[in-house]
Structure 1
């Protein structure tokens, strides 16, 4: 489980606990391969001084374009409990947002052809306030997640007496 149990209230249960799909780190891994190939080529074909300069530049680029996205991917989590949506991200500056499920007015998803092939998509969560829609990008098994959250919302609606006396 990606979320710490200490973040949950008494009696609160995790329903969906996920991070963005692994596709979020595909481009950084491609960049890593290309950078290593270029640096290796320069080291073999050119003089040693130029090779050291290229390796230094590659090291900086790897930190920025590979390690940074990887750390962002590893530290961002999205958790739906039976009471709220919990989002957490960041390493040095940790960011979090909690939204009670009772405030969610609509939940939908969208995905394109590549998302369908990879089994992920964007979860669109509309709340009852004027804040608009929260987009959670690249959620694995987005249709299943949407169904689970819809079931939670229905349970909350039923408990609150939303059947209008029928």
Structure 2
């Protein structure tokens, strides 16, 4: 699915659209597995007790509610935040949008970009992700973390900036 056309200007085209790298979801997935295992163990233990049926039902409901609260807070919420975060490069600007209930974002016209860098450590290199750093004419450098295929995005953005400027330095 492409980035919504309604936010683009007339004649503007999306060059690349990325969400943060899937590694951001590893923690929530691990939490889901651990919390589910603990809840299942707790429910299994409660079923083996000789407690009154009403007490067993109440404890099972408590286990279910605690499991649900933890899953919504530490699994579903981070997933929805990941899903609603967009890093988009068009032929005119770089857009970054994030947030579920409260949305925020920034647009950087390509003509205002002074430099583009990327940074990634060993694990990021293995996962083919990293941090993209964009320095614009009017702001401190902006860091966009966990950009998938950061080297490819860096190169593409570099080419787009120079193509937009019509610079003689533009790589062919």
Q: How does 1:8-47 map to 2 (within 5 A)?
A: 8-46=8-46
Q: Counterpart of 2:166 in 1: which secondary structure?
A: helix
Q: Does 1:146 align with 2:154?
A: yes
Is this contact kept in 2: 1:2–1:18, CA < 8 A?
Answer: no
Report how far residue 113 of structure 1 moved: 1.2
TM-score normalised over the length of structure 1: 0.90
Structure 2: stretches of 5+ with no match in the other structure? 50-55
Deviates more, 1:14-23 or 1:48-57: 48-57
Q: How does 1:13-92 map to 2 (within 5 A)?
A: 13-46=13-46, 48=56, 49-92=58-101
Q: Number of residue pairs matched? A: 160
Q: How does 1:84-163 map to 2 (within 5 A)?
A: 84-129=93-138, 131-158=139-166
Pick the structure with greater CA Rg: 2
In 2: Cα distance, 1:99 partner to 1:11 partner: 17
Report how far residue 56 of structure 1 moved: 1.4
TM-score normalised over the length of structure 2: 0.87
Deviation sequence 1:32-56 (CA, Å, 0-9, x none): 0000000000000135243332221
In 2: Cα distance, 1:111 partner to 1:50 partner: 47
Deviates more, 1:85-94 or 1:26-35: 85-94
The 4+ residue runs of structure 1 with deviation greater than 3 A are: none
Deviates more, 1:62-71 or 1:93-102: 93-102
Is this contact kept in 1: 2:14–2:90, CA < 8 A?
Answer: yes
Report how far residue 106 of structure 1 moved: 0.7
Report how far residue 57 of structure 1 moved: 1.3
In 2: Cα distance, 1:2 partner to 1:63 partner: 27
Q: Counterpart of 2:155 in 1: which secondary structure?
A: helix
CA RMSD, aligned part only? 1.5
Q: Counterpart of 1:20 in 2: which secondary structure?
A: coil
